[in-house]
Amino acid sequence: MDRRSLFAGTAALAAGAMLGARQASTQPAANQSPGVYRMKLGSFEITAATDGIAYRPLTDGFVRNASLVDVQQALKDAFLPTDKVPIPFTPLVVNTGSKLVLLDAGNGQFGAPTSGQLVANLTAAGIDPKAVNTVIISHFHGDHINGLRGKDGALTYPNAEIMVPAPEWAFWMDDANMDKAPEGLKPGFQGARRVFAPIADKVTRYEPGKELLTGIHSVAAYGHTPGHCTFAIESGNQRMLYLADITNNPLLFVRNPDWSAVFDQDADMARAARRRALDMAAQEKMLVAGYHYPFPAMGHIVKDGNRFDVVPMFWTPTL
Amino acid sequence: MDRRSLFAGTAALAAGAMLGARQASTQPAANQSPGVYRMKLGSFEITAATDGIAYRPLTDGFVRNASLVDVQQALKDAFLPTDKVPIPFTPLVVNTGSKLVLLDAGNGQFGAPTSGQLVANLTAAGIDPKAVNTVIISHFHGDHINGLRGKDGALTYPNAEIMVPAPEWAFWMDDANMDKAPEGLKPGFQGARRVFAPIADKVTRYEPGKELLTGIHSVAAYGHTPGHCTFAIESGNQRMLYLADITNNPLLFVRNPDWSAVFDQDADMARAARRRALDMAAQEKMLVAGYHYPFPAMGHIVKDGNRFDVVPMFWTPTL
């Protein structure tokens, strides 16, 4: 929905629906309220917008190096059901004042029915997908890249440059790698091709470690995937760290930083990158955003002996 | 704004503003996104809607029985500034399927400029103040009752029965109590009169301990004020406990349950009520809502030796 149609007659009804107007006063709401949270970081405006959630049935082996009972206990400690792992998705928008930058693109039309909410939530936040200047991708898993294009092939952010880690491109777009990959990894190669092959000319490959845009640095954090990156965001004297998939659900994997989820392609390298990032965040008391943290997916990391925990950000109802 | 005007031509502009449409793509948003969160509790729909926040400068004596240094350290542990205490306000709406019930009414037009957001957030949630059937008040402090009427005297929830704890009414509306009250307490008496005196015939006084409406029980929790109540909400086999002001900011007063904030009128009685409520919530693993918890102001209580902590609820982006 673009701005003009928003103000057209028929669209007012849609706007009413988005605001949640109900037929009867006690009619239950159809949907959760938009998951949008804003904050200032120096002169930048940061918007967390949820793409929804998926649930992974908890089976033995989801955490490769922990018993099912231990994982169930960790879920219980977090007051979560023990039969499934909730995996929310929270891309960030960085408004630098001159550019609208989206960090990771969500599931689009290719994920669980409880996901794919990003565009609706951006719209609720007053952010027009057409106005996004840059999409920066942390890695090539489907829940980060599938939102770039619809099932009809159309670009979701048609005016945006798409920036991807060069080592991700090199790994996933290489046919020799695909041929020799284990079966479980093949869909990842196919998915990367589906998203990127037709739009290769729109994609900029960046070298991790570089400043991508003023105030946004990529940081190599390989292991989860061969080219997985985190992003340091800095404006004025304020900094935050977008952790991407340094951990999956933090109530499992920040609290148990040595646990390896099945998603980690190189478990040892991922564990080292995780400890490096969490140690730095704890030591420097940096605000962090975690892609799979519960909305609004921001907080601080504290270290407790050999473990870590997240102190969720205190929700501020003003800007 | 009622539903009819929402759909009228000029109101579409207002709706656009509420959705956050912006003049230029990188223009910063004017406001925080609406603070609205929904969940199911049995067949009930619970909506947390923020009334905003106030900041109390931290001075020696804010916590009567803790040193300034200890309070500053508790704020630091929560990654909060140490010069002020953030005090958010989160009323709940319980939609029982046949009634819309508001628990506490916020600051209205009488609080800090960063408060008084409740009606806007209810509207964003599709809840028309005119459709509210019942407002249940936990106690008579201004941040819970001032939202009942505007500066012009008009009722914010004109069709709602207002239910208040009988012992609150008996204490605050009694002239002899006002006459003998210390100076610091006098504004409380005057405020209660301003809100309630002209609408006494609209107010039902309830005896704490009773079921007020199907599924909503009042629980005596005296001490914070002489008639302060919490509410147990129950539908199907699900229960939650609305803690009202059993604690102020939980990062101070759940973590340090023996600390007494200046707001507690009878510190010893309030402390006993606090430990009783937190002990029960921890033991029964009940979902709780705390009026002064960070939005969405819900979670579970865990006991750790002689202290407690809150595990914030895992935000679910679907219903």
Q: How many CB pairs under 8 A join A and B?
A: 193
Q: Compute φ and ψ for A280, nearest 5 degrees.
A: -65, -45
Cα Rg of chain B, angstroms: 19
- Contact indicator for A233, A44 with CB cutoff of 8 Å: yes
A 288-307 residues with CB < 8 A to B = 294-296, 299-300
Q: Is residue B200 part of a domain?
A: yes
What residue ranges of chain B have pLDDT lower than 50? Answer: 1-19
State how far the Cα of B16 lies from the Cα of B6, in Å rounded to an integer: 11
Q: Which of B38, B131, B319 sits opposite A25 (nearest CB)?
A: B131
Identity of the residue numbered B153: G
Assigned token pair, A171: 């790994």
Q: What is the pLDDT of residue B22?
A: 74
Domain count, chain A: 1
Q: Which of A22, A97, A313 sits opposite B126 (nearest CB)?
A: A22
Predicted confidence band at A24 (pLDDT cuts at 50, 70, 90)?
confident
DSSP-based three-state secondary structure for B119: helix
Q: Which of B20, B294, B315 sits opposite A295 (nearest CB)?
A: B315
DSSP-based three-state secondary structure for A174: coil
pTM over 0.90: yes
What lies within 8 Å, CB to CB, of B91 at 6+ separation is: B48, B49, B51, B102, B103, B104, B105, B106, B118, B147, B291
Report chain B residues whose CB lies below 8 A from the CB of A99.
Answer: 26
- Contact indicator for A65, A260 with CB cutoff of 8 Å: yes
- Contact indicator for B138, B208 with CB cutoff of 8 Å: no
Report chain B residues whose CB lies below 8 A from the CB of A6.
Answer: 12, 16, 19, 21
Q: Is residue B6 part of a domain?
A: no
- Contact indicator for A283, A265 with CB cutoff of 8 Å: no
Q: Is the peptide bond before B57 cis (omega within 30 degrees of 0)?
A: no
Assigned token pair, A256: 């148990």
CB contact under 8 A, A6 and B18: no
Q: Is residue B264 part of a domain?
A: yes
CA-based nearest residue in chain A for residue B36: A33
Predicted confidence band at A20 (pLDDT cuts at 50, 70, 90)?
low
Assigned token pair, B32: 């925080």
- Contact indicator for B301, B312 with CB cutoff of 8 Å: no
Q: Is A37 in the B-facing interface, judged by CB distances under 8 Å?
A: yes
Which of B1, B53, B79, B118 is most worth mutating to test chain A (most A CB atoms within 10 A of its CB)?
B79
B309's enclosing H/E stretch is strand B307-312
- Contact indicator for B26, A98 with CB cutoff of 8 Å: yes
CA of residue B241 relative to chain centroid, distance: 13
* pLDDT higher than threshold 90 for residue A21: no
Q: pLDDT (tens digit, 9 = 90+) per residue, A253-297?
A: 999 999 999 999 999 999 999 999 999 999 999 999 999 999 999
Q: Which of A15, A45, A295 sits opposite B317 (nearest CB)?
A: A295
Average pLDDT value for residue range A86-101: 98
- Contact indicator for B260, B254 with CB cutoff of 8 Å: no
Assigned token pair, B101: 């019930």
Q: Is A250 in the B-facing interface, judged by CB distances under 8 Å?
A: no
Q: Compute φ and ψ for A232, nearest 5 degrees.
A: -95, 125
DSSP-based three-state secondary structure for A274: helix
B 65-124 residues with CB < 8 A to A = 78-80, 86, 88, 95-100, 114, 117, 123-124
Report chain B residues whose CB lies below 8 A from the CB of A300.
Answer: 79
Dump the DSSP string for A128-146.
-GGG--EEE-S---HHHHG
CA of residue A86 relative to chain centroid, distance: 14
Q: Is B19 in the A-facing interface, judged by CB distances under 8 Å?
A: yes
Report chain A residues whose CB lies below 8 A from the CB of B124.
Answer: 19-20, 33
Assigned token pair, A306: 């050999």
CA-based nearest residue in chain B for residue A17: B126
Q: Is B275 in the A-facing interface, judged by CB distances under 8 Å?
A: no
Q: Pick the closest to residue B103 from B66, B156, B145 (CA basis).
A: B145
State how far the Cα of A102 lies from the Cα of A159, in Å rounded to an integer: 12
C-alpha distances in Å from residue A308, one per residue of B34, B108, B137: 31, 41, 40
* pLDDT higher than threshold 50 for residue A128: yes
A72's enclosing H/E stretch is helix A68-77
CB contact under 8 A, A88 and B317: yes
B91's enclosing H/E stretch is none
CA-based nearest residue in chain B for residue A286: B79
State how far the Cα of B240 lies from the Cα of B281, in Å rounded to an integer: 9
What is the four-CA torsion angle of B308, B317, A110, A91, rounded to 10 degrees? -70
Report chain B residues whose CB lies below 8 A from the CB of A299.
Answer: 79
- Contact indicator for A250, A290 with CB cutoff of 8 Å: yes
Instruction: Give A157's DSSP letter.
Output: S
Q: Is residue A244 part of a domain?
A: yes
CB contact under 8 A, B317 and A52: yes
Q: What is the mean pLDDT of chain A?
A: 93
CA distance A20 to chain B (A): 4
B 174-203 residues with CB < 8 A to A = none
CA distance A198 to chain B (A): 27
Percentage helix, strand, coil, to 5, in chain B? 30, 25, 40
Q: Is residue B174 part of a domain?
A: yes
Q: pLDDT (tens digit, 9 = 90+) per residue, A145-187?
A: 999 999 999 999 999 999 999 999 999 999 999 999 999 999 9
Print burial letters for B223-255: b (CB count within 10 Å at least 16), e (below 16).
bbbbbbbbbbbbbeebbbbbbbbbbbbbbbbbb
* pLDDT higher than threshold 60 for residue A13: no
- Contact indicator for A221, A165 with CB cutoff of 8 Å: no
Q: Which residues span the domain enclosing A138?
A: 31-312
Q: Is residue A12 part of a domain?
A: no
CB contact under 8 A, B315 and A21: no
- Contact indicator for B319, B306 with CB cutoff of 8 Å: no
Q: Is residue B206 part of a domain?
A: yes
Q: Is residue A13 part of a domain?
A: no
Q: What is the pLDDT of residue B21?
A: 61
Q: Which of B11, B20, B36 sits opposite A33 (nearest CB)?
A: B36
Q: pLDDT (tens digit, 9 = 90+) per residue, B34-90?
A: 999 999 999 999 999 999 999 999 999 999 999 999 999 999 999 999 999 999 999
Assigned token pair, B185: 């307490």
Strand B84-89, strand A161-165: pairing: unpaired
Q: What is the CATH number of the domain that holds A279?
A: 3.60.15.10
Instruction: Give B200's DSSP letter.
Output: G
State how far the Cα of A129 lies from the Cα of A120, in Å rounded to an integer: 10
* pLDDT higher than threshold 80 for residue A6: no
Assigned token pair, A25: 């006063």
Predicted confidence band at A78 (pLDDT cuts at 50, 70, 90)?
very high
CB contact under 8 A, A35 and B319: no
A252's enclosing H/E stretch is helix A250-253
Q: What is the pLDDT of residue B24?
A: 80
What is the four-CA torsion angle of A163, A167, A173, A179, rounded to 10 degrees? -160
